[in-house]
Amino acid sequence: MIDTMIFDLDGTLLNTLEDLKDSTNFALKKFQYPERTIEEVRNFVGNGVQKLIERAIPKGIENKDFAECLAVFKTHYAQNMYNKTAPYIGIREMLTELKHSGIKTAVVSNKFDLAVKELCNKYFGNLIEIAIGESENVRKKPAPDSVLRAIQELNSKKEFCLYVGDSDVDVQTARNTGIDCIGVTWGFRDRELLEKEGAKYIIDKPLEIIDIIHQINSCN
């Protein structure tokens, strides 16, 4: 019986790629490093902003400007993360249907915690009950910490949950948590990767999540 849905944020609920690219390039340009394309940034995201800048800046964490570049990115992104970001088509409708059906919802992300909470509040309001981002107390995905914490805060159990994400990190997170993963094809990674990683379900439209829940619950 599924009564809880745990969602990734970037590439799953929100298309944040343009704002992430703009803040990445703002930081790189400030230190006179080459800017990155949208496709490069697409492949850099998924493991938190520190890893994003590590991948974007020449020589990564060995670069003398790494820490300052990361700080510039965080400041710029915090002030500009709403410029081009928007929910994917059908996301709000899907979340509304979940709420009407009494399904509990949470977001877990490798984005820093303040940004996760602000983005969820702005774009989804009470459609998302719990939002958890990167912090000192929670290991980044694919560690299961954030998902387990969300399940606990929602007063649910693993056997009642599904996890939804767009990347290899998300499939691995679900596996490490011990729950099934729904991979989405509209995000930052492609279907082939999700299949290779072993996502239990792969969908092309948000409302297919409702069908999967109904299918599972009708068999129980």
Residue that is last in its domain, among 80, 103, 134: 80
Q: Are residues 49 and 131 in the same domain?
A: no
SS (H, E, C) 142-153: CCCHHHHHHHHH
Give the CATH number of the domain where residue 60 resides: 1.10.150.240
Long-range contacts of 197-202 (CB under 8 A, 24+ apart): 197/168, 197/171, 197/172, 198/171, 199/171, 199/174
Residue 140 to residues 72, 82, 110, Cα–Cα distance (Å): 21, 23, 6
Q: Are residues 114 and 70 in the same domain?
A: no
Q: Are residues 102 and 211 in the same domain?
A: yes
Give, to the nearest 10 degrees, the angle between helix 91-100 and helix 208-218.
Answer: 30
Residues near 47 by beta carbon (within 8 Å), at least 6 away in sequence: 110, 140, 141, 169
Note whether 164 and 158 are within 8 A (CB).
no
Quickly tell me which residue has 């400030």 as its tokens. 30
* Domain that includes residue 40, residue range: 17-80
Rounded distance between C-alpha atoms, residue 30 and residue 70, angstroms: 11
Residue that is last in its domain, among 40, 63, 80: 80
Structural domains counted in the chain:
2
Residues near 142 by beta carbon (within 8 Å), at least 6 away in sequence: 169, 170, 172, 173, 175, 176
Each residue's pLDDT expressed in tens, for the chain with a length of 220 residues? 999 999 999 999 999 999 999 999 999 999 999 999 999 999 999 888 999 999 999 999 999 999 999 999 999 999 999 999 999 999 999 999 999 999 999 999 999 899 999 999 999 999 999 999 988 888 899 999 999 999 999 999 999 999 999 999 999 999 999 999 999 999 999 999 999 999 999 999 999 999 999 999 998 6
Give the CATH number of the domain where residue 95 resides: 3.40.50.1000
Q: Are residues 68 and 98 in the same domain?
A: no
What's the length of the chain? 220
Q: Are residues 96 and 59 in the same domain?
A: no
pLDDT at 136 (0 to 100): 85
Phi, psi of 58 (to 5 degrees): -55, 135
Q: Are residues 192 and 203 in the same domain?
A: yes
Q: Are residues 61 and 125 in the same domain?
A: no
Alpha carbon 198 to chain centroid distance? 18
Q: Are residues 199 and 115 in the same domain?
A: yes
Burial class (CB in 10 A: 0-12, 13-18, 19+), 193: middle
Q: Are residues 65 and 140 in the same domain?
A: no
